[in-house]
Amino acid sequence: ATNGGAKSGSGGSAASLTLVTPSPPTVLDIAHGFNTPSTLVQFAILDTPVTLGEDGSIKPSLAESFTEPKPGTYVFKLRPGVRFSDGTPVTAEDVAYSLERHLDPELASQAASTVITVKKVEVTAPDQVTVELKSPNPTFLANAALIWQIVPKKLAEANPQTLGTPEVPTLGTGPYKVTAFTVDGVTLERNDQYWGPKATLDRVKVTAIGEPEAMRLAVSSGSVDGTTLIPPQEARKWEGMKGVDVRFYPGNAIAFLSLNVKDKYLRDVHVRRAIAHAVNRTAVQQLAVGGKAAPARTILPQPQLKALYGEQYEQVVAGLPDYPYDLAAAKAELAKSAYPDGFTLTVPYASDDKRVDALQAVAADLGKIGIKVDLKPLPPDAARAQRMRHQDLTMGLSELSYGTPDPGEVLPDLLGEVAAQPQGFNFAQYTTPEMEAKINTMLGLTGKARQDAVTEIITLAAEEQPYIPLYYAQYGVALNEKFVHSIGPWTVNAIGAIKVR
Amino acid sequence: MTADLPAGLPADPSDELPPGVLLSVRGLGVGLGGRPIVDGVDLTVGAGETVGLVGESGSGKSLTARAVAGLLPPGLTATGSIRLAAPAGRPGPPVELAGAPERVLRKIRGRRIGLLMQDPFAMLNPLLTAGAHLAETLPRPARGEVTQRLAEVGITDPDVARRYPFQLSGGMRQRVAIAAALAGDPELLIADEPTTALDATIQHEIMQLLARIQAARGMAVLLITHDLRVAFELCDRVQVMYAGRVLETGSAKALATGPSHPYTLGLINALPAVERTAVRLEGIPGSVPRAADVAGQCAFAERCAQRRDDCLTARPPLRPAGAGRLTACLHEVVPRPVASAPEGPAAAAREPSAQPLLLVEGLRKQYGTAVALAGVDLRIEPGERLGLVGESGSGKTTLARCLLGLTEPSGGRITFQPPGTPRHRVVQCVFQDPSTSLNPAMPVGATLAEASGRAAPGERRPPGELLELVGLPAAYATLRPHRLSGGEKQRVAIARALAVRPELLICDEPTASLDVSVQAHILELLRTVSAELGTALLFVTHDLAVVRQITDRIVVLLHGRVVESGPTAAVLDSPDHDYTRRLVASVPPAPALTGRDACTS
Amino acid sequence: MRAVLRKGWGPSVAVLALLALITLAGPWLAPYDPGAHDVDLGAVGPSAQHLLGTDNLGRDVLSRLLAGTRTALIGPVLIALGTTLLGTTLGLLAGYRRGWLDAVLMRLTDLMFALPGLLILIVVVGVAGGSYATAVLALIVLGAPADIRVIRSLALSQRELAYVDAARTLGLSGRRIMFRHLLPNLGPTVTANLLLSFVFALIALSGLSFLGIGLPAGTPDWGLMIAENRTILDLNPWAAVAPTLLITITAVAATILGDRVFERLSA
Amino acid sequence: MVFARVATRRLGAVVVLLLVLSVLTYGLLALAPGGPEQALLGERASTPETRAAIRLQYHLDEPFPVRYWYWLSGALGGDFGNSVYFRQPVLSVIGERLPVTTTLAGFAIVLTLAVGIPAGLAAGLRRGSAIDRGVTFGTLVSLAFPPFGIALILLYTFGVALRWLPIYGSDQVANYVLPAIALALGQAAVVVRQTRAAALDVGGQDYVTFARARGLSRLRVWGSYSLRNAALPVMTVAGLLAAANLTGAVFVEQAFSLPGLGSLLVQAVNQKDIPLVQALVLLGGAVVIAVNLLVDLLYMVIDPRVRHGAAA
Ligand SMILES: Nc1ncnc2c1ncn2[C@@H]1O[C@H](COP(=O)(O)OP(=O)(O)OP(=O)(O)O)[C@@H](O)[C@H]1O
Ligand SMILES: Nc1ncnc2c1ncn2[C@@H]1O[C@H](COP(=O)(O)OP(=O)(O)OP(=O)(O)O)[C@@H](O)[C@H]1O
Ligand SMILES: [Mg+2]
Ligand SMILES: [Mg+2]
């Protein structure tokens, strides 16, 4: 594709695609580039032993097959004859090292916390790698599908901190290989060494346009072919563009307001319920993601609910305690609390947070029931660091997205005891022995028992309201009509899901 | 020599100029948006003739000159006729310059009419060498003649051509400018006060140089000056301007000895002479009006001692007043010869006393390696009037500033009597430039009140009284300085200095930038107040004629050293030191009115 | 246009006076509470109810503009006053007293001039908590050196004039000479500096808001309104265009006034 | 050699200045809340071991002077460290983006001068004319218009509505046209004002009148008198503008998504990428100094007073 030349369209060969991202890919190694633009490219060039199927199920990929001989131990049989894009064969050592490296604190891998349960990774045969977990973990395989990117051991060992930067290009076994990585973006070409079906596009370029409006204009004018990352706040403007196919799919994500139960005021459950009544979810989702969302009543992402309960998930949700938008009810709830006349809450936020409009709407509604919210902007890094340190937590708007269909990640993340420690996601600091026990039991269950255990947990969470579920965001893909795609909630390799029409 | 030209006759309607006439200006007006500044000026310059244009500041001399060169400042417009005779050797009709397109004017400028301006410091491009100025002006075939051209203006050092203006002294710059103005060999050189910014001795040299070149080339010169003595010495004919019009014209000699306009007479009377001390210096009262305000009357009437009723009813035309002379006065002029003071005991130096008011011993001042004062000894008796003369850079101002405490001396001793009095009650100063010596943001009254507050408690005088002391109405107290004329500002400055009743008043060239008639007023004022209040004067100047009028004793400074001192009359009449002699020689003689018979009727 | 330039004076004063009035009375003039939102309404163009339409949260743009006048102008006014006060005082001291103070100040301004200003501003304000007060302080410190230089060089040249010598000859104190004699004569420049600093600060602060540094979200402020409302240019362009125009008009008026005041006072 | 002497005399001052600048920046970044940890960890949960390893690796627990010393000794050896966010040597991160910024700066300054000087001269030499009033009003407005506003308007008009020019990218000359115009508009206004004032000043000088009085051609009066003398103050301003552009035209780079030093700085500040910010600030200081030196040297070439003053 041309790089935004005045002439429109991607010109020349149609098997060439230019995708645009809101910020540039940084490092093509998940250890240091665990961010959306970077992983978009990583999944196209780096293979994983297993991957996710269209329904979210685990499927073999670089591993020909895998078994779980006993709970918490996995054996992966590698596909023979796989080569890196430079022609060197992939060994079991490469595969084992590619997972093991994330355990090394020296590497400071951004994916380290996802493999925290891994005990050891061994080459048990020339074509076999065995992973042993400290305890059984239903999310291990799903995480492995994302972060166990196969890289050459020699290269990764020699350049622990710089692998995947323009200085030390990474090598992969995926359908594409990197041919250029500059400030202008990353250029990929088809990897002819790829073991699977050959990629249909000859060339893919991924480039960044920071201004959302400029990004939209670039797509609508045909200077670029599209994006898989429509900025949610701008979603409204993307529809109805000529020659561009825009589609939204439900994300495996949940947006919520966290209420720190250790806070002087928020510790009162009536206060939390009052707030829940006072939040206008329609408004919030309108402002946060341009209405491209479904209202949420519980803290589990929609695809996970579906995966767990099947189609009857809606009934389960309907049975949960509900707090509809109702200021009178909110006032009544607040009257039951220790602070019937309201109070003032200081809410820090990152100055670059695009969801600040939604926060403002929440603040305005809370104002109406007597809770004054002071929004306090902080430099983005300071805001995030502070939040991860669980410092000055009060109320916060978060959106967490997950890669796995199993609720075994979300629930401990939001309600578990470990996650209530600094660096965990339990921003509500909500942890009780009862809840902790329920979660631990649930993790070991399967089938209907598991469903019931989860129902119990989310019911309790709904009663206590440490988190006010807000919405399930939908993610948008815009592509020039010359292309078609099959990107959905479980798509790992989005670039691989795009084809010429 | 050319006094028989039909100078200043009514405009010649025919196309031809009379033979011998190079430039003929008729009815020239210069206006600013309809308001006349120069009004109906006639001017004739013959080939090879030197014509002087004199008059007080603001009378329109420069604008007349610039109108002739077609170089009026933006916004000003010229009317009337300016005709230049066809080039010598190529007879033809004269060229009309008024309203001529820039293309025509550019051919004339430099090659037929040269213009030399007042300030040699501003006239040269700071980024070009002296040689480059010449080379770019010389006609193409003569580009190599830079050295010869510089030699013509008395610069023999070939190195000067490579120097930049900032590396040249004022005199050198003016020489380079003259060479540049003459590079195109013009037939007429307009020199607008070419020496005002220079030292007395240098002034003299430059004037002599101009006269020499003029004679050698047979070039016509229109010399603009406010110094009547210079005009009378160098010019064939002199034309007196006032408030944008011509009041009198005639041969230099005739005008000098018998002016036929009261204004000319007034100017001559105000001139101090180096040869004698006047009993009373008489300036013309009042100040120059704006041309627009006196359109229908005699412009000088307001200030004229001989005014009659008819002076105010119509504008007097220029009427012939003898051979080659014209005057715009309806009446006969009554000259009053100036009385010379006898060189009596009054002006004699006082005996040195045991208790001088000021004693300066071995005063030295250095700026880096430059020595401004190289050991000066000086004493001033109470009530004495001491003159301090010397060329530019000789250290006069430095000495004065050391006495005032404005500059820290590098060595030597300054003692005032009686010891212990704060310095500001002993010595005060009147500075050179009236335009900056008053705080523009303060009303005159506030300035005076502030000064008077510094006097000893019993001697504080209200501003009104101080103003009256220097001959200004008390109502001036409410005015801000920009409303005052130069002379008035200098009077206020004197009042401010006198407000603290100092024992010694230092005057650093207080009249250097004033017109003669205003200068006369100020000098007279200083003489009277010093006599009345018994204040001693230290009068710094480089004008020997002025120093003669006002001091008892003089000290001549050269390169930071006293080279001569003694009673004023004695030193000026028979100078000892070579430098003093040169200084005296450079002062043009003052005109001596011959009395009633000089005035033709 | 001709009238604005030739006279300039009248319209400029009128504009600034009007703004000053709004600054004082803004909250009472606003037809709506500038914070009152109506998300269901959302961003809509001008109508009889909302003369300049509404923003994303359904807030009345006109009311926010009026209320925002205060935030938008108080910072620049403070910066202008601070810069001018600091610059004038230090410049006068350096220029009149000379000596070590002058030497130190000159080295310091040299240093400041060698700083990449915008860069420093972003680093300081971006890092040190991003508060509005930091931005104001940083802009005062960054703006002062230019004023110090200008005032110092003027003080140096005024100091050479005879009236200062006369004041010194009268034995007046340095302070009196500086503030009673020199300062009034620097009036035109000081006033021009004041207005220039104001314009500079107005634009710099709005730029910071644009980068998301400075004021908390939701504060009615012109710069912030531009930044926030540029996403709804398609729905209600006035929400972003109106504050842009206001900034421009204010800056033009202040610049013209500065030029005119300078001309008039120094005439 | 006069030039060389001036340049070497400056060098000492430059070293001191850069040192002071580096201490200040480093201190500010080190003492501010937040830190590179978060950038290193991404926005994800992390293990205590990882965090400890990072703190050790980046000396985050050592006292400020020690950390500064690590940085300084590296910098003196030419190693400015690695960018925290980009995981590359700071110098190569900057090196990659430098061409974008220099191209934009060069383009903009050429445009600025090419428009600003003639317009300023035209206005100054015809004071009060229609041209003067038009130019003056134009400068007022473009000075007063917020810079990012200009960028967005240009983007819409020429990139979207008219489609004359590309709206993103950084590898073709055409990519720089709109950003350069956006940048030059406000700057040209500054140059116009300065040129106009200089032309007014020079136009009233005796030497120009004297030059005309000598019948010099219009070209010569313009070139070697008006233009050359007016050039001096204009040069100073042009230098300041060029320096500002070279240190990163933040707003324009942001608006046009140009990967230059300005947007890099904003990003680095947000990530608290200390080595990167530090290097960018120092580079900025060095650029300003270098440009000032260049202007001074040019002054010496043009103005003999400066040249000889320096020689004395
Ligand atoms: N550019 C100008 N615009 C408006 N008025 C002017 C201009 N130049 C001169 N004048 C006015 O015209 C009058 C005559 O000025 P001109 O310079 O011709 O006087 P002059 O006789 O040469 O005086 P001086 O001896 O001080 O040089 C003065 O009152 C002056 O204020
Ligand atoms: N502030 C200063 N710094 C350096 N040199 C100075 C300073 N003031 C005066 N000078 C030098 O000291 C010498 C004496 O200067 P001063 O002003 O006393 O002369 P002057 O006799 O008053 O001359 P003029 O007649 O031109 O007023 C000159 O060479 C001058 O250049
Ligand atoms: Mg004159
Ligand atoms: Mg002197």
**DSSP states of B348-377:** SPPPPPSS-SEEEEEEEEEETTEEEEEEEE
The amino acid that residue B322 corresponds to is: G
Residue of B nearest to C184 (CA): B441
Q: Per the CB < 8 Å rule, is C163 touching B437?
A: yes
Q: C174: which 2 tokens?
A: 């340095």
In this prediction, residue C7 carries a pLDDT of 60
Q: Is the pLDDT of residue B347 over 70?
A: no
pLDDT at B338: 56
Minimal CA–CA distance to B505: which of B513, B494, B514? B494
pLDDT band at B597 (very low <50, low <70, confident <90, very high): very low
- Output the residue whose Cα is nearest ligand 2's atom 14: B395
How many other CB atoms are found less than 10 A from the CB of residue C220? 25
CA A434 / ligand 2 centre spacing (Å): 96
Helix (H) or strand (E) holding B39: strand B35-46
- Per-residue pLDDT of C163-203, as tens digits, reads 999 999 999 999 999 999 999 988 888 888 898 899 889 98
Asked if B touches A (at least 3 Cβ pairs < 8 angstroms), the answer reads no
Q: Does position A2 have pLDDT exceeding 60, yes or no?
A: no
Arithmetic mean of pLDDT, C30-59: 84
pTM of the predicted model as reported, rounded to 2 decimal places: 0.82
- Check if the beta carbon of residue D97 is closer than 8 Å to that of residue A183: yes
Ligand 2: residues whose CB is within 6 Å? B 367, 370, 372, 390, 392-398, 542
Averaged pLDDT, B340-349: 49
| Segment D254-272, tens digit of pLDDT | 888 888 898 888 888 877 7
Instruction: Note the ligand closest to the C-alpha atom of B390.
Output: 2
Rounded Cα–Cα distance for residues A382 and B99 (Å): 75
Q: Which amino acid is at C104?
A: V
The residue of chain B nearest to residue D226, with distances taken between CA atoms, is B125
Q: Which residues of A429-466 are buried (b: 16+ CB within 10 A; e: fewer)?
A: bbbeeebbebbeebbeeeeeebbebbbebbebbbebbb
- Taking only residues 280 to 319 of chain A, the set having a beta carbon closer than 8 angstroms to any beta carbon of chain C reads 280, 282-283, 286-287
Taking CA atoms, D140 is separated from A430, B584, C205, C249, in Å, by: 58, 60, 18, 10
Strands B188-192 and B113-116, bridge-based pairing: parallel
| Cβ–Cβ below 8 Å for C170 and B450 | yes
C216 contacts A376? CB cut-off 8 A: yes
Confidence at residue B588, expressed as pLDDT on a 0 to 100 scale: 81
- pLDDT for B275 equals 81
Which chains have 3+ CB pairs within 8 A of D? Answer: A, B, C
- Contacts for D200 with CB less than 8 Å, ≥ 6 apart: D124, D127
List of E strands, A355-412: 371-378, 395-401
Structure tokens at B32: 């600013």
Question: CB neighbours of A44 closer than 8 A, spacing ≥ 6?
Answer: A174, A175, A176, A188, A204, A493, A494, A495, A496
State what percent of residues in chain A have pLDDT above 70. Answer: 97
Closest CA to B42 of B303, B328, B267: B328
Pocket test for ligand 1, best of B61, B239, B515 (most atoms within 8 A of CB): B61
Tokens representing B193 are: 């006060």
Pairing of strands A118-125, A128-133: antiparallel
Q: How far is C161 from chain B (nearest CA, A)?
A: 6
Quote the distance between the C-alpha of residue B320 and its chain's center. Answer: 29
Beta-carbon neighbour count of residue B219 at 10 Å? 21
In this prediction, residues D41-49 reach a mean pLDDT of 75
What is the C-alpha R_g of chain C? Answer: 22
Ramachandran region, residue D303 (left: φ > 0; alpha: ψ -120 to 50; beta: rest): beta
Q: Is B175 in the pocket of ligand 1 (CB under 6 A)?
A: no
The answer, yes or no, to whether residue C5 has pLDDT greater than 70, is no
Alpha carbon of A492 to ligand 3 centroid (Å): 89
Neighboring chains of A (3 or more beta-carbon pairs < 8 A) = C, D
Q: Do D87 and A106 touch (CB under 8 A)?
A: no
Is the predicted pLDDT of residue B102 greater than 50, yes or no? Answer: yes
Residue B342: per-residue pLDDT: 54
Ligand with minimal distance to B401 CA: 2
CB B265, CB B303: distance < 8 Å: no
The pLDDT tens digits of the residues spanning C55-108 come to 888 889 999 988 888 888 889 999 999 999 999 999 999 999 888 888 888 888
**Has residue B2 got a pLDDT over 60?**
no
Whether B534 is in the pocket of ligand 1, judged by its Cβ within 6 Å, is no
SS3 category, C87? helix
* Residue A106 · residue A160 · CB < 8 Å: yes
Candidate from D34, D169, D254 with C-beta closest to A210: D254
Chain D contact set for C128 (CB, 8 A): 28, 32
Residue B281: closest CA among B575, B548, B591, B78: B548
Reply yes or no on domain B346-585 having CATH 1.10.8.10.
Answer: no
Helix, strand, or coil (residue D128) = coil
Residues of chain A numbered 222-241 and touching chain D (CB < 8 Å): 223-224
Q: Across residues B159-184, what is the average pLDDT?
A: 90
CA distance A177 to C137: 51
Closest C-alpha among A106, A352, A327, D215 to residue B137 = D215
Q: Which ligand places an atom closest to the C-alpha of B542?
A: 2
ipTM value of the model? 0.80
Contact B137 D217 (CB under 8 A): no
Q: What pLDDT digit, counting tens, does each position of B115-144 carry?
A: 998 888 889 998 999 999 999 988 877 777
Residue A5 scores a pLDDT above 70: no
- pLDDT, residue C208, reads 82
D269 at interface of B, judged by CB pairs closer than 8 A: no
pLDDT of residue C262: 80
CA-based nearest distance D8→chain B, Å: 25
Mapping DSSP onto H, E and C, the string for B235-294 reads: CCEEEEEECCEEEEEEEHHHHHHCCCCHHHHHHHHHCCCCCCCECCCCCCCCCCCCHHHH
What was the pLDDT predicted at A101? 94
User: At B7, is the pLDDT very low, low, confident or very high (cuts 50, 70, 90)?
Assistant: very low
Please compute the mean of the pLDDT values over residues B417-423 and round it to a whole number: 83
Mean pLDDT of chain B: 86
Quick one: pLDDT band at residue A12, thresholds 50, 70, 90? very low
Residue given tokens 């799919």 in the structure block: A249
Handedness of CA B247, B250, B256, B260 (dihedral sign): negative
What secondary structure letter does DSSP report for A188?
E
List chains adjacent to chain B, taking adjacency as at least 3 C-beta pairs closer than 8 Å: C, D
Closest alpha carbon within chain A to C124:
A379
Would an 8 Å CB–CB cutoff place D149 in contact with chain A? Answer: no
Largest CA distance in chain A: 71
CB contact under 8 Å between B115 and D213, yes or no, is yes
Written as one letter, the residue type at B143 is R
CA B64 to centroid of ligand 3, rounded, Å: 9
User: Could you tell me if C148 and C105 are in contact, meaning their C-beta atoms sit under 8 angstroms apart?
Assistant: yes
**Residue A326: helix, strand or coil by DSSP?**
coil
Q: Residue C8: pLDDT band by 50, 70, 90 thresholds?
A: low
Closest to D147 measured CA to CA, from D118, D113, D190: D190
Query: Which protein residue has the closest C-alpha to ligand 2 atom 25?
Result: B392
pLDDT in tens, A51-94: 988 888 889 999 999 999 988 899 999 999 999 999 999 999 99
d(CA A452, CA A460): 12
D29 to C128: CB separation less than 8 angstroms, yes or no = no
**Other beta carbons within 10 Å of B540:** 26
The whole-angstrom distance between A168's CA and the closest CA on chain D is 9
| CA atoms of A7 and D61, how far apart (whole Å) | 54
pLDDT(D159) > 90: no
Spell out the SS3 assignment of A190-211.
ECCCCCCCCCCCCEEEEEECCC
Distance CA A227, CA A222 (A): 12
Predicted confidence (pLDDT) per residue in D269-298, tens digit: 877 788 898 898 888 888 888 888 888 888
Q: How confident is the model at residue C130 (pLDDT cuts 50, 70, 90)?
A: low
pLDDT band at A391 (very low <50, low <70, confident <90, very high): confident
Provide the 10 A C-beta neighbour count for residue C255: 23
From CA A455, how far away is CA B216, in angstroms rounded?
121
Query: Given this model, what pLDDT does residue A83 score?
Result: 93
Whole-angstrom distance, CA of residue B181 vs CA of residue B191: 10
Cβ within 8 Å of residue B446, ≥6 positions away: none
Measured in whole angstroms, how far is the alpha carbon of residue B403 from the centre of its chain?
A: 28
> Which atom of ligand 1 has the smallest separation from the CA of B74?
1
> Can you list the alpha helix ranges (DSSP code H) found in chain C?
2-6, 9-29, 61-97, 99-113, 117-127, 132-159, 162-169, 174-176, 183-185, 187-210, 222-229, 238-266
Helix (H, G, I), strand (E, B) or coil at D289: helix
State the Cα–Cα distance between residues C45 and D250, nearest whole angstrom: 31
Average pLDDT, chain D: 84
CB atoms under 10 Å from CB of A83, counted, come to 15
- pLDDT of B109: 92
The residues near A316 (Cβ < 8 Å, ≥ 6 apart) are A305, A309, A455
Q: Which of residues 155-214 of C touch A (CB under 8 A)?
A: 212-213
From chain D, the residues in CB contact with C129 under 8 A are 32-33
pLDDT tens digits, one per residue of A410-422: 898 899 988 898 8
How far out from the chain centre does Cα B192 lie? Answer: 12
